[in-house]
Structure 1
């Protein structure tokens, strides 16, 4: 496949995955993830895994999220690929989530997708963990002087 077409196809896969998050479409998520996918949350707060290996483990992690989150609200999505590798898609986006607890969760994300042969083999989310902790009822208290 020509590089421009491959870039477009891979960006469409990443965009479809992000839309599946908004739609709570777990079937599409499963379809787009490679069996040996690696999901990383490098800056995850305590209590959240930083790495999950395999599609079944990822789906198991994602399954209970609808119990805590009413709507995902991912928006302002911008996708790019690396010049050196059309399979490396970087997504920049924001979230305006509504939680089951009556709070809103807003954050900015950068997600790096690695896509090979039409499937996501790795994705790594980068986000500020503090708003997530607060949305789930926790707090972050600075140390006393």
Structure 2
């Protein structure tokens, strides 16, 4: 009998499956579950982040602080475009995706394309480089207190 047959949740360990699982946790507004996918020493980088936005987060606690109010600001409904590309490094994937939803404070639509380079070791995000486009952030996100405006 396997873990899934016993009803025990199986935690994925392959990078693509961990990433997909993380997206489902975000859709479920399970931020604690999503943060639990991060290694204790995970590094998150945002190379295109403009002034006032974090460029780097170090450690699970920094990621947790960054993400804690996420569902209060963004209500993501779906990821209608998702492509996960394997790389020559078996623990690393390149992800192309688009998130759609609404900005909670205003009800305005939210749509953002992302490209991320993600490394997963032992079922945990260890390095996450997120190339989101700051030019796509709606003006209403600046007015709403957003997790995107936390500085480090």
Matched, 1:134 2:144: no
Aligned equivalents of 1:88, 1:18: Cα separation in 2: 17
The residue that corresponds to 2:128 in the other structure is: 123
Using the size of structure 2 for normalisation, the TM-score is 0.77
SS in structure 1 at match of 2:115: strand
Matched, 1:110 2:115: yes
| Contact in 1 for aligned 2:84/2:94 (Cα 8 Å) | yes
Gaps of 5+ in 2: 1-12, 144-152
Residues 87-142 of structure 1: CA distance to partner in whole angstroms, max 9, x if unpaired?
Answer: 1111111011200212112121111111112211011111211121524146xxxx
Aligned equivalents of 2:77, 2:53: Cα separation in 1: 18
Bigger drift between 42-51 and 85-94 goes to 42-51
Gaps of 5+ in 1: 1-7, 139-145
Q: 1:72 to 1:53 in 2, by over 3 A?
A: farther
More strand by share: 1
Matched, 1:53 2:67: no
1:34 shift after superposition: 0.3
Runs of 4+ in 1 over 2 A off after TM superposition: 70-75
Count of aligned positions: 130
More helix by share: 1
Aligned equivalents of 2:123, 2:133: Cα separation in 1: 29
Aligned equivalents of 1:135, 1:111: Cα separation in 2: 24
SS in structure 2 at match of 1:49: coil
Which of residues 14, 27, 44 is equivalent to 1:22?
Answer: 27
